[in-house]
Amino acid sequence: MTRPIVEVADILRAQGDRFLNRYQSSFDYQQLKAFRAIQRCRTAALGGHIDACPRCGHQAISYNSCRNRHCPKCQAQAREHWLAARERELLTTSYFHVVFTVPHELNVLALDNQRVFYDLLFTASAQTLLEVAADPNHLGAEIGVISILHTWGQTLLLHPHVHCAIPAGGLSPDHSRWIRPRYPFFLPVKVLSRVFRGKFCAGLKRLYRRKQLRCAGPAAALADLKQFRQLLRRLHRQDWVVYAKPAFGGPVKVLRYLGRYTHRIAISNHRLIAFDGERVTFRWKDYARGGKQRKMTLLATEFLRRFFLHVLPKGFVRIRYFGFLANRFRAHRLPLCQQLLASDRPPPLGSSEAPSHWHCPHCGATMVIIQRLTAVELSLCPYFDSS
Q: How far apart are CA 313 and CA 320, in angstroms?
A: 16
**Mean pLDDT score, 131-160:** 95
User: Looking at the predicted structure, is the pLDDT value of residue 202 above 60?
Assistant: yes
pLDDT per residue as tens digits for the range 259-286:
777 888 889 999 999 999 999 999 999 9
Residues 162, 121 contacting (CB under 8 angstroms): yes
Four-point Cα dihedral 210, 213, 216, 218, nearest 10: -140
- How far out from the chain centre does Cα 196 lie? 21
Residues 48, 369 contacting (CB under 8 angstroms): no
pLDDT per residue as tens digits for the range 6-46:
999 999 999 999 999 999 888 899 999 999 999 999 888 88
CA nearest to 309, candidates 42, 19, 73:
19
Residues 296, 153 contacting (CB under 8 angstroms): no
In this predicted structure, what is the pLDDT of residue 345?
Answer: 43
Question: Which pTM does this prediction carry?
Answer: 0.85
User: Looking at the predicted structure, is the pLDDT value of residue 306 above 80?
Assistant: yes
